[in-house]
């Protein structure tokens, strides 16, 4: 009976637990409605080779990463070494150069290295809209049929790549 004054304590602890849980959520990162669906079709000029085109059909046949980036995007620069690492691991990465200038984008690649097999040049961002891009960098993992299996908005961290992206990629490789 003397401890009756303690009754708000469990209430308080429950509140702390709920708020602590809320802090760990990322309400800013939206689930992509594309997951489990075929990628949005596109056809763009290639960034480095203006005579060539990059179309969604080129991404089909084997599992690939599709990375949306821009030279003005600071987080893309922070992410860049991870992409180079993925390239060294033999994982094919296709790029979508989003609302950028060709000269700036090429200079970015010259300076920091080029992890991409081919890059679509989406100057006006219309393909980006089709893919639901809202915050570069964004990375999609596609299976061999061109179905979107995973999307990450924001920087790919070494941990995320080690724990999620590479295992998923190997699993998709094993799928028929």
Partner 1 sequence: MIGLRVARLLLGALLFLALGNSALAVPAESARFETEAQAQRYQRLVRELRCTVCQNQNLIESSAPLAADLRRQVAQMIREGQSDEQIVAYLVVRYGDFVLFRPPLQASTYLLWFGPGLLLVLGLGVLGWKLWQRRARTAPVPLSDDEYACLRRLLDDDAGGGR
Residue 10 near partner 1 by CB under 8 A: no
**Which are the contacts of 161, defined by CB distance < 8 A and separation ≥ 6?**
82, 85, 86
User: Which of 28, 36, 174, 176: binder of partner 1 (CB under 8 A)?
Assistant: 28
Angle among Cα 127, 117, 36 to the nearest 5 degrees reads 50
Binding mask of the shown chain, residues 46 to 85, with x at each position contacting partner 1 by CB under 8 A: ----------------------------------------
**Choices 2-10, 31-39, 51-59, 137-145; region in contact with partner 1 by CB under 8 A:** 31-39
Residue 36 near partner 1 by CB under 8 A: no
User: Which of 30, 41, 57, 74: binder of partner 1 (CB under 8 A)?
Assistant: 30
Residue 32 near partner 1 by CB under 8 A: yes
Q: What are phi and psi of 103, to 5 degrees?
A: -60, -45
Length of the chain: 176
Could you tell me where the beta strands, DSSP code E, fall in the chain? 43-45, 53-55, 64-69, 93-98, 118-122, 138-142, 148-153
User: Which of 33, 61, 113, 167: binder of partner 1 (CB under 8 A)?
Assistant: 33
| Residue located via tokens 């991404």 | 59
User: Which of 46, 77, 84, 132: binder of partner 1 (CB under 8 A)?
Assistant: 132
Burial tier of 45 (Cβ tally within 10 Å: 0-12, 13-18, 19+): middle
User: Which of 16, 38, 62, 134: binder of partner 1 (CB under 8 A)?
Assistant: 134
In whole angstroms, give the CA distance from residue 57 to residue 48: 19
Rounded to the nearest whole angstrom, what is the least distance from the CB of residue 49 to partner 1 in the complex?
26
Catalog residues that contact partner 1 under the rule CB under 8 A. Answer: 27-28, 30-34, 40, 99, 124-125, 129-135
């Amino acid at each position: 009976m003397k401890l009756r004054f303690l009754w708000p304590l469990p209430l308080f602890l429950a509140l702390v637990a709920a708020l602590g849980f809320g802090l760990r959520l990322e309400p800013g990162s939206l689930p992509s409605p594309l997951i489990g669906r075929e990628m949005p079709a596109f056809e763009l000029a290639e960034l480095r080779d203006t005579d060539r085109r990059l179309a969604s059909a080129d991404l089909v046949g084997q599992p690939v990463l599709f990375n949306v980036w821009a030279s003005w995007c600071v987080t893309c620069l922070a992410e860049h070494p991870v992409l180079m690492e993925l390239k060294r691991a033999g994982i094919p990465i296709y790029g979508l150069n989003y609302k950028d200038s060709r000269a700036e984008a090429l200079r970015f690649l010259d300076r920091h290295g080029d992890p991409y097999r081919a890059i679509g040049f989406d100057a006006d961002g219309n393909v980006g809209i089709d893919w639901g891009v809202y915050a570069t960098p964004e990375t999609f993992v596609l299976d061999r049929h061109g179905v979107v299996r995973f999307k990450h908005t924001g920087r790919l961290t070494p941990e995320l790549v080690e724990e999620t992206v590479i295992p998923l990629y190997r699993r998709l490789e094993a799928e028929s």
